């Protein structure tokens, strides 16, 4: 983990966030503070509010009056500001890039500068944008995919291209919502090793998942969500054990450390 900068505002501050849809309470007074350099996994069972929390961060949803959300100390931001502060990758974003019209890999990455799906006449692509796109594709090990159509890529390949697209802004943080969904075990490991390099290079990772096998060695902070609230939050060493996971998932879970990684089995 990077040394904490005590003077910098937190990467993310959420205070007393309530989100309600109809009769359902999706987030129930959720409060959370994450700092830059604090690689974090947000863990929770199905329906615990993970996607709702992601939408709160990305401003697809707002909390009820009395709730507060800020990124890097700013409570108001537009899409362009957000992208340069925090890259966002999720399997639902990926669906947007599978569809027609066809989209070539390099164009897909460059289009990240314009928050667009593809490049159009009005987009003035500079040499710097091209260079940064190539650099981002190298960072995620996806340069060899240049020239391919997005719809022809495997899930894991497309995921790496979309992370590169998020990285063109050189964001301080990456929010990864179930980033390993649809990846086979080998692709998952290759993908996670790529994320490790990003974490080691100074990009703060926020990983939202229900699989403890995806918690990278670099991630030291755990947030456990249940019923739209933070059930537990703290160091991985204190929380990633059978007792806490059993409580979180409300069934017997056996946690096994594998070196710096973790596995889990359900009785």
Binding residues for ligand ATP (CB under 6 A)? 21-22, 24, 26, 44, 46-52, 210
* Spatial contact of 117 and 97, defined as CB atoms under 8 Å apart: yes
Q: Which stretches does DSSP call E strand in the chain?
A: 12-21, 24-34, 40-43, 68-71, 86-90, 173-177, 204-209, 221-226, 229-235, 253-258, 261-266
CB of 129 to ligand ATP, least distance (A): 34
Chain centroid to CA 183 = 16
**DSSP-based three-state secondary structure for 69:** strand
Comparing C-alpha atoms, which of 87, 19, 9 is closest to residue 53?
19
CB of 227 to ligand ATP, least distance (A): 9
Decide whether 30 or 166 has the Cβ nearer to ligand ATP: 30
Classify residue 104 by its DSSP letter.
B
Residue 50: CB atoms within 10 A of its CB come to 21
Decide whether 153 or 206 has the Cβ nearer to ligand ATP: 206
Decide whether 20 or 243 has the Cβ nearer to ligand ATP: 20
Decide whether 55 or 134 has the Cβ nearer to ligand ATP: 55
**DSSP-based three-state secondary structure for 140:** coil
Decide whether 198 or 225 has the Cβ nearer to ligand ATP: 225
CB of 197 to ligand ATP, least distance (A): 27
Decide whether 89 or 145 has the Cβ nearer to ligand ATP: 89
CB of 224 to ligand ATP, least distance (A): 12
Residue 122 φ/ψ region, left for φ over 0, alpha for ψ in the -120 to 50 degree band, beta for the rest: alpha
CB of 12 to ligand ATP, least distance (A): 17
CB of 45 to ligand ATP, least distance (A): 7
Measured CA angle at 190 (ends 189, 196), to 5 deg: 85
CB of 61 to ligand ATP, least distance (A): 9
CB of 44 to ligand ATP, least distance (A): 5
Decide whether 119 or 181 has the Cβ nearer to ligand ATP: 181
Classify residue 105 by its DSSP letter.
H
- Alpha-carbon distance of 51 to 49, in angstroms, equals 6
Decide whether 21 or 76 has the Cβ nearer to ligand ATP: 21
Residues 6 or more apart whose Cβ sits within 8 Å of residue 158: 94, 97, 98, 150
* Spatial contact of 125 and 69, defined as CB atoms under 8 Å apart: no
């Amino acid at each position: 983990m990077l040394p904490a900068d005590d003077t910098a505002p937190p990467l993310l501050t959420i205070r007393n966030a309530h989100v309600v849809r109809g009769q359902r309470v999706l987030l129930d007074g959720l409060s959370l503070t994450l700092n830059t350099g604090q690689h974090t996994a947000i863990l929770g069972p199905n329906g615990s509010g993970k996607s709702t929390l992601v939408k709160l961060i990305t401003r697809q949803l707002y909390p009820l009056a009395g709730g507060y959300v800020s990124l890097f100390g700013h409570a108001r931001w537009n899409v362009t500001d957000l992208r340069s502060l925090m890259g966002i990758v999720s399997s639902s974003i990926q669906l947007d890039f599978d569809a027609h019209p066809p989209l070539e890999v390099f164009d897909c990455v460059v289009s990240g500068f314009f928050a667009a799906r593809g490049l159009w006449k009005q987009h003035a692509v500079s040499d710097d944008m091209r260079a940064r796109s190539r650099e981002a594709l190298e960072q995620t090990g996806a340069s060899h995919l240049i020239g391919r159509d997005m719809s022809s890529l495997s899930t894991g390949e497309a995921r790496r291209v979309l992370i590169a697209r998020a990285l063109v802004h050189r964001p301080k943080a990456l929010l990864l919502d179930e980033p390993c969904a649809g990846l086979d075990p080998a692709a998952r490991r290759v993908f996670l090793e790529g994320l490790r390099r990003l974490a080691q290079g100074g990009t703060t990772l926020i990983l939202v998942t229900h699989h403890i096998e995806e918690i990278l060695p670099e991630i030291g902070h755990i947030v456990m969500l249940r019923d739209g609230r933070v059930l537990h939050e703290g160091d991985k060493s204190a929380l990633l054990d059978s007792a806490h996971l059993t409580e979180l998932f409300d069934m017997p879970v056996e946690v096994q450390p594998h070196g710096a990684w973790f596995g889990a089995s359900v009785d």
